[in-house]
Amino acid sequence: MSAGANVQEDWMRGGVKIVAWAHRSEHTTQIVQWVQPSVTELPAESMPPEDAFLYLTDDIARALYEALSVHFGGNVVDATRLRKDYDAERARVDLFIKHTVGGVR
């Protein structure tokens, strides 16, 4: 199962517009639809009402996170891949240091 999201500028409303989806099978795609957001004022210490939350599956939430990251200039699209790259770079640096100092630790 794969999921995706797209974030685009919405100049008319001064923000962004978002679409998120998940391919559930070869023939079906689930598209997340939410109503137009509204603003409700609550006392400062109160909890938001239950219907104020947006509920997403993990795969759709991850796709939305990645799309928002790309839209706002982040580079967190694949944190697992970044971790592997950092680990590989660390191994190269460790080997370089080992050769530079003659194998002394």
Measure the CA–CA gap between 53 and 47, rounded to whole angstroms. 11
Any residues with CB less than 8 A from the CB of 16 and at least 6 apart, and which?
Answer: 7, 8, 9, 10, 71
pTM of the predicted model, to two decimals?
Answer: 0.57
CB–CB of 22/57 below 8 Å?
A: yes
Residue-wise pLDDT tens digits, 35-83: 776 777 888 888 877 777 788 888 888 888 888 888 888 766 566 777 8
Residue-wise pLDDT tens digits, 1-16: 688 888 888 888 888 8
Q: Using 50, 70 and 90 to split pLDDT, how confident is the model at 91?
A: very high
Measure the CA–CA gap between 40 and 46, rounded to whole angstroms. 12
